[in-house]
Amino acid sequence: MAISVASIYQLSVPKPLQTRTHFYQNKPISRWRQKCTVIRCSNSTAGERARREKNYYELLGVSVDSSSQKIKEAYRKLQKKYHPDIAGHKGHEYTLLLNEAYQVLMKQDLRREYDASIGHLRVGFGENTTSLVGYSTWNGPLRPQALFVDENACIGCRECVHHSSNTFTMDDALGCARVKVQYGDDDQKIQVSVDSCPVNCIHWVDREELAVLEFLIRPKPKEGFGVFGGGWERPANVFMEAQSFTKQMKQEAELHHRNARATVEEETPAQAEARASASMKLQMEGFSRIWNWVKEASGSWKEP
Amino acid sequence: MAEPAYTVTSDSETNGEEKSSSAFPETAIGIDIGTSQCSIAVWNGSQVELLKNTRNQKIMRSYVTFKDETPSGGVSNQLSHEHEIFSGAAIFNMKRLIGRVDTDPVVHASKSLPFLVQTLDIGVRPFIAALVNNVWRSTTPEEVLAIFLVELRAMAEVRLKRPIRNVVLTLPVSFSRFQLTRIERCCAMAGLHVLRLMPEPTAVALLYAQQQQQTVHENMGSGSEQIALIFNMGAGYCDVAVTATAGGVSQIKSLSGSAIGGEDILQNMMRHLLPNSESLFLKHGISEIKSMALLRVAAQDAIHKLSSQPSVQVDVDLGNGSKICKVVDREEFEEVNQKVFEKCESLIIQCMQDAKVEAEDLSDVILVGGCSYIPKIRNLVMGICKTQDISMGMNPLEAAVCGAALEGAVASGISDPFGNLDLLTIQATPMSIGIQADGKTFVPIIQRNTTIPARKELVFTTVHDNQTEALIVVYEGDEKKLEENNLLGYFKIGIPPAPKGIPEINVCMDIDASNVLRVLAGVIMPGTPHPVTPLMEVRMPTIDDGHGWCAEALHRAYGSTRDLVTVQKKI
């Protein structure tokens, strides 16, 4: 649904700015995006913003790999505390955020997109949502293994597309096959496709690795120097590249965690509660632009 | 009887203020105003208690009789005979009339009631009148309901020995926001403050959550999630809800409802017994009203009896020379009401689809409301939900009011040392809310069954070059056709001159926990991060009576000059 996607988009936009600027330095930035950033930057410094930017998992006090059941329980527990029926009108903003977070995290596809947008390693990485368009989606529940086509090796024989047309697609511009829907066909057809590949470029990979691989295999604009260089490139060995990329990301994430706060996973229920109470008191960053304006108009806004 | 304890209004009001400033919050009472019956309940500190009137009734008929100078309602009034309600002097079924315009089919169906319902079919409030001393005296559904609420309030004040101000009311799912404002106005007229208006099945869901929690406490089991379907059908309305309950929290997953109920079944039955009954009763002569009353009572009796026996003998002398002598069996009854039953089925199916649950997922099926006694209704619910066992842990006529009383206690901030009030209902919006855009189409901004509190926004832009204004027309509903949805209000927002498609008009909708809808709109121009004009904040609905032709008039006056289109997301 367009609406929910829109709001996730807004929430997630500024997140990767500080740590992973180098990944999309050369990318055109959409008008919308620019504007969004301007609005958010204007009344707080980058650090403050990062702290105020609500992470849905933190908001609910659950770990990023929590099951839907866990999320549901956490949501209900928090609702019981902050729902306006119980906490009065001051719980309104907080409950809005809870509802938003719950809605996103309970829907498998929305959660995946969200995970990707917050740069989570499980399935995602730091990138703006633009590059996520066209990534393979999942048919049915997530499974531990995923299909990945090493586009460097692919010779564009269309054999796999022929056997499982719901799973594979042909990128005619680049002349290679790609997975569009994970498990889009039944297992048997997929196996036939994998076996039929003359160059064995269809790989079974761990689900966790998939997003990184799919990201890296995409041709990236090469950094140019004046009129030299430029153009597009992709790593020669995508698997090696993925390993080092993941390692780098982990280090960054660890650093980030160490600097900012204890990791969410290690949080005890008591801590979670304390944090939840504290975050309640924090000025809520509404996820609506209009709402921000209203707040700005009502006094909390200062010219930078 | 009630006189001695009836204190002067000003006195009780000062008492109320003292009380609210004290440490003990006033517990809001729960009221279930049904189309035909009404009840009132309160959390008494340890459990929910239904309040009884002076005649020891927990459930009272909803009607107001106009006699001489002072009207009297079903709370205190002692009927000499059932037929008195149908003499034309009493107004009932207010809930089916309130906030509806005279083009509404439900209003048209009410024209065969004994009191007078006149329509002009132009989209204004219908004219209703009661027969007092052979004179049709005009009134309004709001006035009638307010009189009734005043009686209820007086009775509750006598029983509880304290002034009553805050109330939680249960209402049908299909009520439009405009109808809700009418209900609020009735309460204000009766000196009551509405703390919450809750859809009837969600009140039942709250009661279910409490019962669930108690059994969990007893068994020391885990608070696993239970999914329940609640079917509530009374005299005027049919509502369905799917709720997921765990640990005292009931999360409403979906709601559906329609204005069909026992009244429709009764009218079908009357038509079956006397095929030309409608044309006869539209005349509203004294003798016609009398025969109508006789027929109504006979049909009602027959329906009640058919719930327990396979066939019934109807013997009634209508007094105008015609006599009905007929045996009606259950098959016939089900045949004449087939459409009603089909509608019930479609509501249940839609509700389950919206909640994305299958019959196998349901742990409980709860059937409440007066119509739940009809075997066909029970069978069709059991059929769709593929269950043989319908939860009978609740009194079908008292469940909604008990839930309302629980909500009243929770929302008043009352806590219970035994955890009996450790409850919460997370409500959802029964209808989508959106605006008119993209030509004459309805663009929803908040989708139906969105959890509330909710806040969503969408971006629109202009359709003409140098368009200086945009007309934002807010609707509620789920019909494809714009005009079949309920109009909630409209306002204009000024736009600086620019080529079409350049200004961005953000429309944001916010619904808080008490179901108050606010619509905000702001205009931003490219290059400026902030709105160029002051934002508009409008509390909806803004329309008043006679709104039926508003949308049409707006369209005539403005055409498409102030239209908007949605902006595709720029990603």
pLDDT, tens digit, for every residue of B143-201?
Answer: 999 999 999 999 999 999 999 999 999 999 999 999 999 999 999 999 999 999 999 99
Q: Which residue of A has its CA nearest to B513?
A: A84
B75 falls within a domain: yes
B239 falls within a domain: no
pLDDT value of residue A297: 61
A89 falls within a domain: yes
DSSP B566: E
Find the helix or strand (DSSP H, E) in which B478 lies.
none
A219 falls within a domain: yes
Give the span between the Cα atoms of B422 and B435, in whole angstroms: 38
Give the span between the Cα atoms of B517 and B537, in whole angstroms: 10
Give the span between the Cα atoms of A57 and A111, in whole angstroms: 11
- My answer on whether B280 and B135 are in the same domain is no
Average pLDDT over residues B6-29: 50
The β-bridge partners of B50 are B41
Q: Look at chain A and report how many structural domains it folds into.
A: 2
Give the span between the Cα atoms of A30 and B249, in whole angstroms: 42
The pLDDT of residue B222 is above 60: no
- My answer on whether B17 and B110 are in the same domain is yes
- My answer on whether A278 and A210 are in the same domain is no
Average pLDDT, chain B: 86
Q: Which of B304, B336, B368 is where one domain is finished?
A: B336
Give the residue with greater pLDDT, B209 vs A44: B209
The pLDDT of residue A65 is above 70: yes
The pLDDT of residue B561 is above 60: yes
A3 contacts B456? CB cut-off 8 A: yes
A192 falls within a domain: yes
B139 falls within a domain: yes
| Residue whose pair of structure tokens reads 């761990």 in the numeric block | A206
pLDDT value of residue B38: 92
B210 falls within a domain: no
Residue B275: which residues within 8 A CB-CB, separation 6 or more? none
Among A83, A292, A298, the residue to mutate for chain B (most B Cβ within 10 A): A83
In 3-state terms, what secondary structure has residue B405? helix
- My answer on whether B179 and B38 are in the same domain is yes
* R_g of chain B computed on alpha carbons: 25
Q: Which two tokens stand for residue B421?
A: 């009030």
Chain center to CA of A85: 33
* Residue type present at position B263: E
- My answer on whether B192 and B317 are in the same domain is no
Give the model confidence (pLDDT) of B385-425 as tens digits: 988 877 667 899 999 999 999 999 998 888 888 878 888 99
Average pLDDT over residues A213-228: 69
The pLDDT of residue A81 is above 60: yes
Give the span between the Cα atoms of B211 and B345, in whole angstroms: 27
| Residue whose pair of structure tokens reads 């740590």 in the numeric block | A19
B411 contacts A99? CB cut-off 8 A: no
A6 contacts B458? CB cut-off 8 A: yes
**Which residues on chain A are in Cβ contact (under 8 Å) with B512?**
84, 89, 92
Q: Is B453 on the interface with A (CB under 8 A)?
A: yes
Split at pLDDT 50, 70, 90, the class of B358 is very high
B513 contacts A76? CB cut-off 8 A: no
A294 contacts B537? CB cut-off 8 A: yes
| Distance from the B504 Cα atom to the nearest Cα atom in chain A, whole angstroms | 11
The pLDDT of residue A282 is above 60: no
Give the span between the Cα atoms of A230 and A216, in whole angstroms: 17
**Three-point CA angle A53, B571, A154, nearest 5°:** 110
DSSP B373: G
Q: Is B216 on the interface with A (CB under 8 A)?
A: no
Q: Judging by DSSP bridges, how do beta strands B469-476 and B433-437 pair with one another?
A: antiparallel
| Percent of chain B with pLDDT strictly greater than 90 | 50
Give the span between the Cα atoms of B273 and B296, in whole angstroms: 10
Split at pLDDT 50, 70, 90, the class of B513 is confident
Split at pLDDT 50, 70, 90, the class of B280 is confident
Give the model confidence (pLDDT) of A246-264 as tens digits: 777 767 666 655 554 433 4
* Residue type present at position B327: V
Among A27, A76, A80, A291, the residue to mutate for chain B (most B Cβ within 10 A): A76
DSSP B528: -
Split at pLDDT 50, 70, 90, the class of B546 is low
- My answer on whether B188 and B284 are in the same domain is no
A259 falls within a domain: no
B425 falls within a domain: no
| Distance from the A56 Cα atom to the nearest Cα atom in chain B, whole angstroms | 16
**Three-point CA angle B11, B12, B15, nearest 5°:** 95
CATH code of the domain covering residue A186? 3.30.70.20
pLDDT value of residue B223: 61
Average pLDDT over residues B286-312: 90
Give the residue with greater pLDDT, B257 vs B532: B257
A76 contacts B246? CB cut-off 8 A: yes
* CA dihedral sign, ordered B316, B322, B326, B332: negative
Q: How far is CA B555 from CA B489, B546, B547, in A?
A: 13, 16, 13
ipTM of the complex: 0.80
| Distance from the B523 Cα atom to the nearest Cα atom in chain A, whole angstroms | 10
- My answer on whether A119 and A16 are in the same domain is yes
**Which residues on chain B are in Cβ contact (under 8 Å) with A84?**
453, 512-514
Residue B163, preceding bond cis, omega within 30 degrees? no
Average pLDDT over residues B223-237: 89
Give the span between the Cα atoms of A54 and A102, in whole angstroms: 13
The pLDDT of residue B503 is above 60: yes
Q: Look at chain B and report how many structural domains it folds into.
A: 3
Give the model confidence (pLDDT) of A4-63 as tens digits: 333 333 333 333 333 333 333 333 333 343 333 333 333 333 333 333 456 888 888 888
Full residue range of the structural domain in which residue A190 is found: 134-252
* Residue type present at position A251: Q
Residue A79 has its nearest CB partner, among B249, B512, B514, at B249
- My answer on whether B159 and B283 are in the same domain is no
Decide: residue B93, CB within 10 A, 0-12 exposed, 13-18 middle, 19+ buried.
buried
Q: Which of B313, B336, B359 is where one domain is finished?
A: B336
Full residue range of the structural domain in which residue B270 is found: 262-336
A2 contacts B571? CB cut-off 8 A: no
* Inter-residue contact B238 to B347 (CB < 8 Å): yes
* Residue type present at position B110: S
pLDDT value of residue A123: 37
| Distance from the A304 Cα atom to the nearest Cα atom in chain B, whole angstroms | 13
A257 falls within a domain: no
Residue B513 has its nearest CB partner, among A3, A85, A290, at A85
| Residue whose pair of structure tokens reads 């079956």 in the numeric block | B272
* Inter-residue contact B31 to B59 (CB < 8 Å): no
Q: Is B249 on the interface with A (CB under 8 A)?
A: yes
- My answer on whether A125 and A139 are in the same domain is no
Split at pLDDT 50, 70, 90, the class of B49 is very high
The β-bridge partners of B254 are B242
What would you measure as the largest C-alpha separation in chain B, in angstroms?
83
CATH code of the domain covering residue B286? 3.90.640.10
B421 falls within a domain: no
B369 falls within a domain: no
In 3-state terms, what secondary structure has residue B87? helix
Q: Which of B162, B181, B196 is where one domain is finished?
A: B196
The pLDDT of residue B351 is above 90: yes
Closest to B152 in 3D by CA, of B78, B235, B59, B75: B75
Give the span between the Cα atoms of A20 and A116, in whole angstroms: 13
Split at pLDDT 50, 70, 90, the class of A239 is confident
Q: Which residue of A has its CA nearest to B528?
A: A35
**Which residues on chain A are in Cβ contact (under 8 Å) with B424?**
79-80, 83, 85-86
B246 contacts A73? CB cut-off 8 A: yes
Decide: residue B132, CB within 10 A, 0-12 exposed, 13-18 middle, 19+ buried.
middle
| Distance from the B522 Cα atom to the nearest Cα atom in chain A, whole angstroms | 7
CATH code of the domain covering residue B161? 3.30.420.40
Q: A211-220, B73-82, B328-337, B457-466: lowest mean pLDDT where?
A: B73-82
CATH code of the domain covering residue A24? 1.10.287.110
Give the model confidence (pLDDT) of A114-155 as tens digits: 877 766 544 333 333 333 333 677 777 677 788 888 888 888
B570 contacts A32? CB cut-off 8 A: yes
